[in-house]
Structure 1
């Protein structure tokens, strides 16, 4: 019998038997399950998929640790990387051959293997809480990937601070909303570094064309500063809407594409109707005054406070002049980010001149602005429409991100069933989810006075969405994020 070295595990022991066994999956007889049991089992599968992703990351890192870079040819020796052909090492201290081996093991391309290895590395070095949440099955891999995408090039200590802010609500956010929150949190934690990266990114602005997976199509992309991109899209969208209103029955996406192509190829054409871009700027006044680095937004895209101040300066500073056909709406929120009132610059000036009607001669704390009053009829007032669209910004159905401009202000409790036409009973739903709520049986929608929407499926699954910008309730545990070097041990599996 061959003698094993002391530090070599028993290959023929229990571990060897377990590794050699084909993986087993517990499967229930689906045909015998009730609707609710099928939904619950799908939730179990989602949690298992997340746990497997965490386990996969641990295995990838273990294999990487077994492949150190001292296995590579030393500099100056035959076979060593050299000159412009030398790729940057993908993982510090790991052999350049590791990615090729991982691709062989997983029977995938080098690019896919490289992304997997980099993601696992970020989990261990920068996002241990995200890795642990994956291992527990409480956060899915898609949302974990979003955090990796946003934070992988950030200092690990900064990444852990952002992670600490986001993890309590990450599982309840859509991927799009989570990405926005992550970028905004990163701006708040490390605004100077983000501004430096933004300036460098603006130097890399470009327009590219890529093959499309759809037959006969190509994809044209443009990397632009966020305010410019928001303005460009809004103009294209408005022109597409005008075509739609004129009776063009093509899908609105096709109309946007046609408008963009026409603007680029026929810039001299003056027969198009004039339109003005509408930008929604959101930021705390303290940030605009230079007293805070809290991130702002332009049409839902997170931007740094410095970038927002630059934009306002180009629009004539805080005394923004409303362009012909345009509008400026101010949103007033409480300390938790919940919308309290919307107003215009002119209305705000009138209120400032008039003061409190109850105490006109003294300073007081009486409120002079609040959300619009309830109306008697079915149709919301213009003030209610402005308030609800400003509060919700997108369709509020869980997982949907359709912009509010294409969404209806719908009664949560139907008006025909006694539901009031009040902002506490109105939320933005895109046409598809509006129809689902109205006509699909056994769905249940409820909303709190501050706009927290809860949706329950016919199978009993419940999801909750909060208006963008509102802060979730504080987590039960307020332990600070870990700092310094993370422990060598992986999350508990």
Structure 2
């Protein structure tokens, strides 16, 4: 435990000068050093919690009675006092004690990485949650070693699906067996909230949950776009009355239809709901009526324009043919069982073959029946999301940016293209002092205005390195 060194790091950072007058570089360094010190203190706190759990276990072991309630008292008493001093729930404190004990005993390398500030507590939770089901000590050590390769380079959100895949590959219990057991627990429930509201939640197979969200989002975007167009008067296509009244349709009936169209257009123009609000309303309409039936929704989406979900799943060829049980992957989530993956593959209208390097794991080529779109698909498969460090916006919603600007002679090749989200990081690259260089295998080296270098590695290359690390002897 090194609380003194952690406190010293904070003091040293502050002693270099007043925060109120710190320069750009000093601000970045100060935040970095402070965060490292906080991580060290959090690691120390976890060790104290683990020790509390151990003391409670020792006291429990000295109780001669086998009566369950009596043996529950030592950990409850310890949790109650810790909760009192921290002003927290004692029930939650018992969980923190147990989790800390598991971390200290079962994930020593993760604790050491937190203590040195190489990762933070969010990374710790991802690693511990993914690895908790691996009971074999050797397999768990190999998993932890591989997971840290990812966690030390990525945000928790980006790291989670990769670490879940690593856990699956190193877990001796097949995913299909675990998925079957988990799927039996699928359910829907409601939790009451304040102010006349309630929360509707469901546990579903991941591909279904992601497909539902994708379909709701597609509906919501259509509705929001229609409302914006109606307000600006820039709606494209034929006016509603022209669609509904044909030749010889003049008269009272035509006037009534035209009046309905005007009222419908006015309703759309006054719709100022946010995307989240529209998504929630569409969910309600779909579940209660079978379609997005609200007037604004039905007015902005033609009856013949089907809204379908889009999910990206990567399936090893041997798994697809049934020769292997290696898991498939739902991009943005993590591993899914082979049976579900094969079912989805059997119903998809488009197949893409993904070729990866056997030495680095980098995406080399995407082979499809639409060669004119091959480069775009390859980039989406390689990048999966915006390539600015930490961003997770899906690649299909990003711009294909020339790393070296086309205006400066940059070629339109995969080796000079990367996905950047249009509203935030694409402008940052072009309109601020940030710069980027693309290395082999799609690796991007970003340089910040203060001169710091941040390396963004494509997910599959990073996962390949992590798997390679898992095959090396553990350093502890």
Q: TM-score, normalised by structure 1?
A: 0.74
Q: For residue 254 of structure 1, what is the aligned residue in structure 2?
A: 277
1:45 aligns with 2:45: no
Whole-angstrom distance in 2 between the partners of 1:294 and 1:193: 9
State the 1:188 CA deviation: 0.8
The RMSD of aligned alpha carbons is 3.3
Q: For residue 168 of structure 1, what is the aligned residue in structure 2?
A: 149
Q: For residue 124 of structure 1, what is the aligned residue in structure 2?
A: 104
Q: For residue 177 of structure 1, what is the aligned residue in structure 2?
A: 158
CA contact (8 A) 2:150 2:163 kept: no
3-state SS, counterpart of residue 454 of structure 1: strand
Structure 1 gaps, min length 5: 1-17, 348-371, 373-380, 487-493
3-state SS, counterpart of residue 409 of structure 1: strand
Going from structure 1 to structure 2, the CA distance change for 1:282 and 1:479 (only over 3 Å counts) comes to: closer
3-state SS, counterpart of residue 76 of structure 2: coil
1:341 aligns with 2:365: yes
3-state SS, counterpart of residue 34 of structure 2: helix
Q: 2:424 aligns with which of 418, 425, 432?
A: 432
Going from structure 1 to structure 2, the CA distance change for 1:477 and 1:287 (only over 3 Å counts) comes to: closer
Q: For residue 352 of structure 2, what is the aligned residue in structure 1?
A: 329
Q: 2:461 aligns with which of 461, 466, 470?
A: 470
State the 1:128 CA deviation: 0.9
Q: 2:308 aligns with which of 267, 272, 276?
A: 276
Whole-angstrom distance in 2 between the partners of 1:101 and 1:71: 20
Whole-angstrom distance in 1 between the partners of 2:193 and 2:424: 27
Whole-angstrom distance in 1 between the partners of 2:188 and 2:104: 35
Whole-angstrom distance in 2 between the partners of 1:466 and 1:111: 41
Whole-angstrom distance in 2 between the partners of 1:416 and 1:200: 56
3-state SS, counterpart of residue 440 of structure 2: coil
CA contact (8 A) 1:452 1:465 kept: yes
3-state SS, counterpart of residue 109 of structure 2: helix
Going from structure 1 to structure 2, the CA distance change for 1:60 and 1:418 (only over 3 Å counts) comes to: same
3-state SS, counterpart of residue 45 of structure 1: helix
Q: 1:233 aligns with which of 200, 204, 213?
A: 213
Q: 2:182 aligns with which of 182, 190, 201?
A: 201
Q: 2:333 aligns with which of 298, 301, 304?
A: 301
Q: For residue 236 of structure 2, what is the aligned residue in structure 1?
A: none
Instruction: For residues 262-304 of structure 1, give each alpha carbon's deviation from its aligned partner in whole angstroms, at most 9, with x where no partner exists.
Output: 2112215686531333332212213334454433212433224
Q: For residue 350 of structure 1, what is the aligned residue in structure 2?
A: none
- The structure with the greater share of residues assigned to helix is 2
State the 1:73 CA deviation: 5.9
Q: For residue 81 of structure 1, what is the aligned residue in structure 2?
A: 69
1:450 aligns with 2:441: yes
Q: For residue 413 of structure 1, what is the aligned residue in structure 2?
A: 404
3-state SS, counterpart of residue 134 of structure 2: coil
Q: For residue 35 of structure 1, what is the aligned residue in structure 2?
A: 24
Q: TM-score, normalised by structure 2?
A: 0.76
Going from structure 1 to structure 2, the CA distance change for 1:293 and 1:464 (only over 3 Å counts) comes to: farther
3-state SS, counterpart of residue 461 of structure 2: coil
Count of residues paired in the alignment: 410
Q: 1:70 aligns with which of 40, 46, 60?
A: 60
Structure 2 gaps, min length 5: 229-271
CA contact (8 A) 1:287 1:294 kept: yes
CA contact (8 A) 2:385 2:392 kept: yes
State the 1:60 CA deviation: 1.9
3-state SS, counterpart of residue 69 of structure 2: coil
Whole-angstrom distance in 2 between the partners of 1:314 and 1:139: 36
CA contact (8 A) 1:329 1:342 kept: yes
Whole-angstrom distance in 2 between the partners of 1:245 and 1:171: 40
Q: Which moved more, 1:190-199 or 1:131-140?
A: 190-199
CA contact (8 A) 1:164 1:480 kept: no
